Structure 1
């Protein structure tokens, strides 16, 4: 047998043993309730019970978010069943052998009972009652209420979160794999909070069972001791009360630990830190510690108060405030150093080309309040979003987009930003980093309170809301978007729109070098023999201008080699390539098994546009102003309607006017692809959703 044969078998045995451990353990717990156990096994199991409770509590303390401990409800059930099984087993021994002495039920129960009672039964009973009240009334009841509310809000917010994921996916902020993982997290979060709502009832029932078991042990022990074993009431009480309280405490201490763990899990806020780090980071404000020190010092001066104690606490609080203040000053100094501008040259009159030339292909300028979204170390959430958008758009268009340079511009108004392609500002708007953008859904009936604006990317009505209103908005079918996502989505639209300006000869040469490894003869026969590099770059720019991907460069070169003898212009060559490349654009928006939603022009309007195109020179389409306005408005309304429905619509026209009409519409509508009848893929099902008329007040059919 080879080593490769042995490893999978061993791994399979390990997995089988792990899978059998839990069912076997559950059956053993059930057996403990039926079969008598010796005292030494009770001691062992009680110790294991305390170990498990402590372990669960420590794991709960060190989780970053509740979902990191998603097995907690199941563990809580198993731990509760273990504790109840031990209660049943210990009750059997206490009632059957308690008359023989306090060591009858084992060392653990005897030690707990003797330590708490300390010779006074009444004190022991009261201590047990207080522990049960703390567990049942305070911790368990509060945790149960939090679990119930969390489950309700989580389920109400699920549709909004799913729509937010779909919005990020459509905008290119998330990949398909990331969106799938986010959807799974949303589903797991709902399942977890629902399970926690039920699991909190285990802890409550366990506390009630502890009280009943204690009463049964005391009453039953006194009756058995006096009636069956001829013990006096005092002797029976000395034996059975000690054993009953010891048994109750050894079960209630782990129950209290699990109740605390439950409360920690359900009140935990998702963070990148564990609970200790999270609390330390939020309470280490020097502005809070100095007033505390002052108030404690004043209380210590009140006549009759323990002056030394309060003064000592005041000094400790003042020292803590001083230490935290020094830490804050060091952090501020480090931040200033990181953001400090480069030193000016020694000669104030010197000027270099670097001072006046900015070679960045894409630049994002941020006003001062928006700098909070950019971290000095890793760029913060905005930088990660920009990287994701750049990767998504590059994959969609077929070439590597240049990097986006993020800079601050103190001349911009507060909360404003600009996006530049080269040195030209192509987009600008405002976002609010301390708010979130809520976009109303189809089923929203309540208007959320906030600043009403238009979404920068799609022009949809939206509202900037405070973070504390997020759950309210999601429950009312709003899609809530983070500010950095809003900015990244706007950047995505800009990159798509200006992709033709971002590709250069160096980028095309990089694509050719990559293709050379697969089809070297094709590249060498076309570039530069049939077509120079600058001409190929110009053709690809024409193709990208209408968002058609150039990812299939091999097909493009093969088609160009066939067209070489036709002596076409750059624009005519790009137009001739389109029928073979349009399928790449269509498949990005409409699945193959769904009909392609298209808009057509009525025959009278199309004939009018054809006549106008024949009379127009170049790529310009000369139209009457009123007609142009009606045409654009009709298409804008259709585009907004389909965008809200999550669909991509195409305008289908005659090949004679396709290019000129597309050039005309790009000036008014950001993304409304214009195809000719000859460019529709063979065998593709088409759904004509509207036919546009050029007549005044004529409805769109």
Structure 2
């Protein structure tokens, strides 16, 4: 006989445990209470459960540290509201059908609320019920709903800034990917929570209105049923049914009020690492002066004739004594701290006298005390802190993220994170960029002003503080924000303070790309490449070339501004020529030839004619002879070296004046020699060899270096 098979969804719920069945069962019970008649005993059970649930929710809200710790609260509001309304429907059915038999007909809970809490007086019951409803509806629920509405609006408005701050921390290396993912989830959940609370508060307000209407219907309906169907006298009918209706309404309204208070507690608290109870105690009773003054006021009121003297004097003395104890404890705290410091100092002196060379024997030096130098660092003065403060949605953080992303896309590897910190030793508007702990760039950025840069075509002068562009050394002036459009109309390039720093940082990263490519970055680059061409990478490193040799070749390329995005070509070329030589310089030459088309396109985008400078024939023969005699270029005759540098500089300036890229075309054997020699004096000059020029390009010589003048 085949075993009985459960449906797939039912077996899935069973596998997930009983907690997965709790919500569906509760919803079904709510529907059952609305449709089917319930005996008085079950009404007592459900009313007791409703009261217990409200108290649990209130205590949970009080002990909650942050709203997201109670994310289920909006759903609990809906469920508790529907539970009260279902109980109202069920109790109404019992009250109208059995109310003529007496107060116990609707259960002991309703009877107890009708007799014990309001003393059996329906007039008092009506007043108490109306007061509770007004408090719940117009004070607690309305205030909590307004706070939730404003909180939802602010949470949504702040979401982009918080997301950018998280991305900035991730790019700066302050947090990992897992922490960033968790923070993004918390930001989204916070906005969803306040939005849900804004809507859930409408449930409670609607419940208050429904409670009033249900109570009135119960009274009117009870009178009709009692007098018409059961021939009760008007006085007896109004007494029975009014007490039952008021008792029923109070049983529902008191848990509703408790839930509303819990909602107000959750949405009105300010984020802290303490729950609400600790916040109230630590902040409300933190200052003894407040307790002294309050105690004196109450004590003075206790001396007035006709006042409840004992109560006022008792509270005044209690507050005064509490303030005295707190004051005494606060005064003793510094003394204890000084005693602890003195004891530590004495222990240190004793250790020194005994030959111990440590200032504190309790804390030995560890490797944690060794601080690693940041590869890339940005230090700012205090006036520039808003630009890099994630709490103020610093725009510079987003731009640094964009710089690293653009650098990775264009150059071919991911630059190290930029570690940002403030430095009070700098001028208020100054900043400095460090590379491996050494300053490589500095400048000033006036937060709130704009830098108008003269690219050479600006007309007229601008009022402001004259300066130079920190990235490229162009003449510039700091202007007020109101002059921005005027400066742009005069031909100036106008940028804000954040863009000034970002541009300078981008220039530093680009010019020092070879120094940023360490072994860690090379290994990460190979790990990324092995996903696409695993066999090619495995056959090269470390079988053919070592990781250090590959790093040196890539650094040589980056030092001359050659991008390394085409790693497949680089690896294939190294695999071909590494068997012939392991010299990084020779390997770099072969890689440059293989990358010739990309190098030329980078220098002459979209051009088929290359306007270049070349060497005079006599100078070229002289350098070839010097190279052939074993000279590596470091011993060029000083006079000749000065002539080459001077004439190359003049030719480069002419090229730039014509809007052309300054490129010197030389024979292959001389390229490395002249590139190293001219790189320091003329970093903007690029040196190419004939073998690096594609056959599809034509060459136009614009000037000769070394020609007699």
TM-score of the aligned structures, taking structure 2 as reference length: 0.59
Structure 2: distance between partners of 1:367 and 1:336: 38
Partner Cα separation in structure 2 for residue 283 and residue 631 of structure 1: 71
- Residue pair 2:578, 2:587 contacting (<8 A) in 1 also: no
> Shift of the alpha carbon at 1:327?
6.2
Flag the 1:281–1:629 CA change in 2: closer, same or farther, 3 A: farther
Asked whether the 8 Å contact 2:13–2:20 carries over to 1, the reply is no
Aligned partners of 2:37 and 2:90 also within 8 Å:
yes
2:90 aligns to what?
A: 89
Equivalent residue, structure 1, for 2:320: 314
Query: Do the aligned partners of 1:285 and 1:324 also contact (CA within 8 Å) in 2?
Result: no
Residues 291 and 322, structure 2, Cα contact 8 Å, conserved in 1: no
Distance change (3 Å), C-alpha of 1:544 and 1:144: same
Whole-Å separation in 2 of the counterparts to 1:45 and 1:436:
63
Q: Residues 167 and 242 from structure 1, CA distance in 2 versus in 1: closer, same or farther, beyond 3 angstroms?
A: same
Distance in 2 (CA, whole Å) between partners of 1:130 and 1:582 is 87
Q: 1:138 is matched with which residue?
A: 139
Aligned equivalents of 2:567, 2:328: Cα separation in 1:
65
Aligned to 2:299: 300
Aligned to 2:260: 259
SS in 1 for 2:103: coil
Q: How far did 1:541 drift?
A: 2.8
Counterparts in 2 of 1:69-468, with a 5 A limit? 69-158=70-159, 184-277=185-278, 283=284, 285-286=286-287, 289-301=288-300, 303-304=303-304, 306-320=312-326, 322-323=328-329, 360=373, 362=375, 411-413=425-427, 418=432, 420-422=434-436, 424-427=438-441
User: Alpha-carbon deviations, 1:284-303, whole Å to 9, x = none?
Assistant: 744xx424423432552354
Q: Deviations over 1:618-656 (max 9, x none)?
A: 998766658748969xxxxxxxxxxxxxxxxxxx99996
The question of whether the paired residues in 2 share the 8 Å contact of 1:366 and 1:417 is answered with: yes
Does 2:613 align with 1:611?
Answer: yes
Work out whether 1:539 is the aligned partner of 2:553.
Answer: yes
Contact 1:613 1:621 in 2 (8 A): no
Out of 310-319 and 564-573, give the one that drifted further.
Answer: 564-573
Q: How far off its partner does 1:82 sit?
A: 1.2
> For the Cα contact (< 8 Å) 1:171–1:489, is it kept in 2?
no
Q: Give the CA deviation at 1:490.
A: 10
Return the alpha-carbon distance in structure 2 between the equivalents of residues 232 and 666 of structure 1: 112
Cα-to-partner distance string for 1:653-679 (whole Å, 9 max, x where unaligned): 9996999799799979xxxxx9x9999
Query: How far apart are the structure 1 equivalents of 2:333 and 2:382?
Result: 24
Report the alpha carbon displacement of residue 96 of structure 1 after superposing the two structures with TM.
1.6
Root mean square deviation of aligned Cα: 6.5
Rounded to whole Å, the distance in 1 between the matches of 2:202 and 2:234 is: 38
Q: Which of 547, 556, 574 lines up with 1:560 in the alignment? A: 574
User: C-alpha offsets along residues 204-256 of structure 1, whole Å, 9 cap, x if unaligned?
Assistant: 01011111222222333344334443444444344333322221111111111
Give the CA deviation at 1:85: 0.7
Rounded Cα–Cα distance in structure 1 between residues aligned with 2:607 and 2:31 = 81
Please give the alpha-carbon distance, in whole angstroms, between the structure 1 residues aligned to 2:94 and 2:283.
Answer: 50
Q: Distance in 2 between matches of 1:677 and 1:166?
A: 44
- Shift of residue 22 of structure 1? 3.3
**Structure 2 residue runs without a partner (length 5+):** 1-8, 356-369, 387-393, 450-468, 481-497, 620-643, 695-701, 703-709
Structure 2: distance between partners of 1:194 and 1:541: 53
CA contact (8 A) 1:105 1:243 kept: yes
Distance 1:521 1:221, change over 3 A: closer
Q: 1:523 to 1:416 in 2, by over 3 A?
A: same
Give 1:101 deviation, angstroms.
Answer: 1.8
SS of structure 1 residue aligned to 2:61: helix
Q: Map 1:477-496 to 2 at 5 A.
A: none
C-alpha deviations, 1:589-644, integer Å up to 9, x for none?
xxxxxxxx99965759x744x22799976998766658748969xxxxxxxxxxxx
Shift of 1:136: 0.5
Q: 2: distance between equivalents of 1:546 and 1:54?
A: 72
Using the TM superposition, give the Cα deviation of residue 129 of structure 1 relative to its aligned residue in structure 2, in angstroms.
Answer: 1.7
Note if contact 1:417-1:428 (Cα within 8 Å) is conserved in structure 2.
yes
Q: Relative contact order (alpha carbons < 8 A, sep ≥ 6): 1 or 2 greater?
A: 1
**Are 2:8 and 1:32 equivalent residues in the alignment?**
no
Given the superposition, is the C-alpha separation of residues 166 and 566 from structure 1 closer, same or farther in structure 2, using an over 3 Å criterion? Answer: same
Distance 1:429 1:104 in 2: 86
Deviations 1:463-516 (CA, angstroms, capped at 9, x unpaired): 9xxxxxxxxxxxxxxxxxxx9xx9999999977865643667899899999x9x
Partner Cα separation in structure 2 for residue 431 and residue 333 of structure 1:
48
Please say which structure displays the higher CA radius of gyration: 2
The answer to whether the 8 A contact 1:173-1:489 is kept is: no
Secondary structure of the 1:37 match is: coil
Normalised TM-score (structure 1): 0.60
Q: Is the 8 A contact 2:295 2:315 kept in 1?
A: no
Matches of 1:178 and 1:526 in 2, distance apart?
39
Change (3 A) 1:69 1:418: same
SS in 1 for 2:613: helix
- Cα contact 1:526–1:557 (8 A) shared by 2: no
1:565 Cα deviation after fit: 6.7
Look up the SS of the partner of 1:103 in the other structure: helix
CA distance in 2, matches of 1:436, 1:59: 47
Q: Distance in 2 between matches of 1:211 and 1:508?
A: 73
Q: Secondary structure at the match of 2:76?
A: helix
- Note the C-alpha offset of 1:581: 9.4
Distance in structure 2 (CA, Å) of the matches to 1:629 and 1:178 = 51
- Could you tell which deviates more after superposition, 616-625 or 201-210? 616-625
Question: Residues 66 and 422 (structure 1 numbering): CA distance in 2 closer, same or farther, change over 3 Å?
Answer: closer
Residues 570 and 58 of structure 1: is their aligned pair in 2 closer, same or farther, counting only changes over 3 Å?
same
Contact 2:408 2:415 in 1 (8 A): no
The 2-side partners of 1:130 and 1:334 are apart by 57
C-alpha distance after superposition, 1:270-313 (max 9, x if no partner): 44544444555655744xx4244234325523541633422321
Q: Could you give the per-residue CA deviations for residues 555-612 of structure 1, whole angstroms, max 9, x where no partner exists?
A: 96764353347769755644644698999x99xxxxxxxxxx99965759x744x227
Deviation at 1:62, TM superposition (A): 3.8
How many angstroms does 1:323 deviate by?
A: 4.1
CA distance in structure 2 between the aligned counterparts of 1:462 and 1:28, rounded to whole angstroms: 71
- Secondary structure, in 3 states, of the residue corresponding to 2:56? helix
Q: Provide the rounded CA distance (Å) in 1 between the counterparts of 2:375 and 2:184.
A: 32
- Please say if residues 218 and 241 of structure 1, whose CA atoms lie closer than 8 Å, have aligned partners that are also in contact: yes
The 3 A distance-change label for structure 1 pair 219 and 523 is closer
Shift of 1:44: 1.0
Aligned residues: 563
Note if contact 1:363-1:407 (Cα within 8 Å) is conserved in structure 2: no
Corresponding residue number in structure 2 for 1:42: 43
